[in-house]
Amino acid sequence: MSTWTRYRRLVGAESFKLRTVRRWVITLIALIPLTAGFALLLSSANKFRTGDLPPLVGPHGLAVQDQFRFLHQPMTGDGTIAVHVIGQRLPPQEREVVRENGQVVIPVLQDRAGAGIMIKATAQAGAAYAAIMVTPHAGVLMSSNFGDDITGPAASSPRWLRLDRAGTTITGYSSADGISWTKVATLAVPQLPATAQVGLFASSPDETTLEKSLGSTSLGLYPTQSIAEFDNLTVPGSVDGQWVSDDIGRIDLNNQFPDKSFGPKGSTRALNGTYTLQGTGTFRTNLLPDDPVEGALFPLFFGLMLLIPIAVLFITTEHKRPLLRLTFAASPHRGTVIAAKATVIAVTAFVLGTVAALASYAVSMPRMRANGYAPPNFRAVSLEDIDVWRAIFGSGALFAGIAVLALGLGAIMRRSAPAIATTIALVIVPMFVGTPLPLTATRWLMYLTPAGGFAMQRTLPPDPTLAVSSSMIWPWQGLAAVTGYAIVATVIAIRLTRKRDA
């Protein structure tokens, strides 16, 4: 008999064993309504409130941050604006800044501090735009309507930049000498009116810090500034009016909170064809870091509490009785027996985890949307999004990996209670231990324990520009962590099972 035929027969036999233990079957089936029940309960209680200050909404209907220094004038119809960015630097200030918490910081120019040119529908914060800029360390970037940046040449100032408008289509170019131009991107901005504002801008994103220590977590937003110098400004299109300089987005659009500034005041200076702008802030989508899909799938945590004991008992019960001797007598290839058991529990756990995730999502999301987890502060999500399905099937993969890990620990320890406790300690405890730890320690805890597998339930990737997400890991990294533990536990279980008496 071939190894493959023997393996298939053992899979069928182990599947039959699992189905014939009624209390196991009832417990596994109960996992789905239990998860859905917790999902309904938690989503009903989880409400988001925007507070007194409403978000600034961009042309795509999502919350945005739109703040920078803008030197502009109207341009009607098609045209071109080009400029030479001489350089970027920090404004004159003290060498050290002491914050409220006593931390001493030496100011540096932000990596994505921008110096560039923009075509904007109006001079109001949140209006549609297209822009190209040079940054100190991120190279040349182009963006429109608060979307993701498109990366151009990896160059800093001095640099030549150009924007060409043809209707609602904007094309950006970069050049080292102002003669030979390299195309960066062509973007559509359908909201642009016939007469739009064109000009120069300077920006510098806020510094975001998240400090965690035992018992406390503090989030800080610290405004930064940059100075950008330009010359050789040309606007050969149809231009009328005078240049106007504004701090875009510094005051709330509706003037409901005129005493609340969004950052330090900027400045503009023009002298002999050279323009110097000092600005703060940035323009980007400003969604909250919470992931509604991850919140909807969190109740699967409780389903794992039912799955782990069953996965352990699937092997330890035979050691206790001892039925495993009969199994080994019928099939002396012990490693194949363990592999067959791992296959059966993995497939069962994957199916249960996927169905439970789908049920949890279906129950939770309507309630969460009604409770404020919707645009403009959060992206609209639905089952049409591939990332949602990745999170749902990823939850099934998480269940499968943890089930195989529990089975392997059961085979290694041969006793139910220690194996169950060890699995829970490896999977569940790190989630609570990591909460008060510093960010770097939390991230490494997720890398090095099966708890990192819960990252598969996130649809938002870690944002390297936000310290608030620096403790998160990528979903596939988390799945690799739990898969690695499952494989190691299975390999050790097979080796020990071959050496020890049944």
Percent of the chain with pLDDT over 90: 60
Going by C-alpha positions, the residue among 278, 303, 498, 292 that lies closest to residue 379 is 292
More confident: 497 or 409: 409
pLDDT tier for residue 102 given thresholds of 50, 70 and 90: low
State pLDDT tens for residues 132-188: 999 999 999 999 999 888 999 998 999 999 999 999 999 999 999 999 999 999 999
- Contact (CB, 8 A) for 293 and 455: no
pLDDT, mean over the chain? 86
Residue 188: partners with Cβ closer than 8 Å, 6 or more residues away: 144, 168, 169, 170
Please report the pLDDT score of residue 360 as a whole number.
96
DSSP 40: H
Distance CA 235, CA 82 (A): 7
Specify the residue for token string 């509490």: 305
In the predicted model, is pLDDT for residue 99 greater than 70?
A: no
Q: Which two tokens stand for residue 178?
A: 């102002």
Query: Distance of alpha carbon 180 from its chain centroid, rounded?
Result: 38
Helices (H), 298-385: 300-320, 324-330, 334-370
Type of residue found at 392: I
Answer positive or negative: Cα dihedral of 463, 467, 468, 470: positive
- Contact (CB, 8 A) for 189 and 129: yes
Task: Mean pLDDT check: name the lowest of 114-118, 187-191, 463-467.
Answer: 463-467
Q: Which two tokens stand for residue 441?
A: 């320690």
Task: Mean pLDDT check: name the lowest of 262-266, 371-375, 438-442.
Answer: 262-266
Type of residue found at 390: R
Question: Mean of the pLDDT values across residues 282-287?
Answer: 89
Please report the pLDDT score of residue 216 as a whole number.
46
In the predicted model, is pLDDT for residue 261 greater than 50?
A: no
Distance CA 164, CA 186 (A): 9
Please report the pLDDT score of residue 55 as a whole number.
85
- Contact (CB, 8 A) for 410 and 315: yes
Distance CA 35, CA 300 (A): 6
Type of residue found at 317: T
Neighbours of 18 (CB within 10 A): 16
State pLDDT tens for residues 389-422: 999 999 999 999 999 999 999 999 989 999 999 9
Please report the pLDDT score of residue 320 as a whole number.
67
Type of residue found at 93: Q
Please report the pLDDT score of residue 328 as a whole number.
66
Please report the pLDDT score of residue 259 as a whole number.
40
Helices (H), 53-170: none
Q: How many residues does the chain have?
A: 502
In the predicted model, is pLDDT for residue 50 greater than 80?
A: no
pLDDT tier for residue 62 given thresholds of 50, 70 and 90: very high
DSSP E strands: which ranges in 90-128? 97-98, 104-105, 114-120
pLDDT tier for residue 100 given thresholds of 50, 70 and 90: low
Please report the pLDDT score of residue 461 as a whole number.
73
Please report the pLDDT score of residue 287 as a whole number.
85
pLDDT tier for residue 441 given thresholds of 50, 70 and 90: confident
Q: What is the CA radius of gyration of the chain?
A: 29
CA 188 → CA 125, 280, 409, distances in Å? 19, 26, 56
pLDDT tier for residue 64 given thresholds of 50, 70 and 90: very high
Pairing type for strands 267-271 and 274-280 reads: antiparallel
68, β-bridge pairs: 248
Helices (H), 21-93: 22-45
pLDDT tier for residue 467 given thresholds of 50, 70 and 90: very low
- Contact (CB, 8 A) for 82 and 228: no
Task: Mean pLDDT check: name the lowest of 70-74, 213-217, 263-267, 386-390.
Answer: 213-217
Percent of the chain with pLDDT over 70: 84
Type of residue found at 404: V
Distance CA 391, CA 358 (A): 10
- Domains in the chain, ordered, with CATH? 3-46+289-499 (no CATH), 64-285 (2.60.120)
Neighbours of 112 (CB within 10 A): 20
Distance CA 364, CA 292 (A): 9
Neighbours of 93 (CB within 10 A): 9
pLDDT tier for residue 202 given thresholds of 50, 70 and 90: very high
Going by C-alpha positions, the residue among 270, 282, 260 that lies closest to residue 135 is 282
- Contact (CB, 8 A) for 315 and 502: no
Global confidence as pTM: 0.82
pLDDT tier for residue 256 given thresholds of 50, 70 and 90: very low
More confident: 290 or 99: 290
Pairing type for strands 181-188 and 169-175 reads: antiparallel
Q: Which two tokens stand for residue 31?
A: 């996992």
Q: How far apart are the first and last CA of the chain?
A: 23
- Contact (CB, 8 A) for 283 and 68: yes
- Region label for 367, one of left (φ > 0), alpha (ψ between -120 and 50) or beta (otherwise): alpha
pLDDT tier for residue 104 given thresholds of 50, 70 and 90: low
